[in-house]
Amino acid sequence: MREIKFRAWDNKLNKILEWIDIAYNDDPFFHEDRDYELMQFTGLYDKNGKEIYEGDILKRPDLEINYIVVFNGGCFCIQDSKNKHHKLKLLDGISIFLGIIGNIYENPELLEEKE
């Protein structure tokens, strides 16, 4: 069995919170005045041994393409950040060749087109 973990982007604090920070915060997690974006742990690790979550931005060292981790059709996939209509690829099996370079909330500039 894989470990089920989450982290969340807090839209009010503009920072990522680990599940422990959310669960034991004075403010209940689903309090109506809070605004969170949940991200699930994929159960996979990047080439440096870091946990990969939904919303992470991954890079393959030999290509100038950034990939976004998404959950689609019941599995975790990577999506080309420049060509979102490009076919999704399963993350399992290729994650060890990719490195996390950021996430869509803290590093949106990594998704911008380079001129």
Structure tokens at 97: 């060749």
Q: Identify the weakest region by mean pLDDT among 21-25, 70-74, 91-95, 99-103.
A: 21-25
In this predicted structure, the answer to whether residue 36 has a pLDDT above a threshold of 60 is yes
Residue 29 is predicted with a pLDDT of: 52
∠ CA(3), CA(49), CA(59), 5° rounding? Answer: 110
Q: Determine the pLDDT at residue 22.
A: 54
Task: State yes or no: pLDDT of 85 exceeds 90.
Answer: no
Cβ 16 vs Cβ 106: under 8 Å: yes
Q: Looking at per-residue confidence, does 26 or 10 come out higher? A: 10
| Per-residue b or e along 81-94, where b marks 16 or more CB atoms closer than 10 Å to that residue's CB | beeeeeebeebeee
The pLDDT value recorded for residue 33 is 62
Average pLDDT, the chain: 83
Residue count (the chain): 115
Question: Which pLDDT score, from 0 to 100, does residue 58 have?
Answer: 95
66-72 sheet: strands from edge to edge: 89-90, 75-80, 66-72, 56-59, 99-103
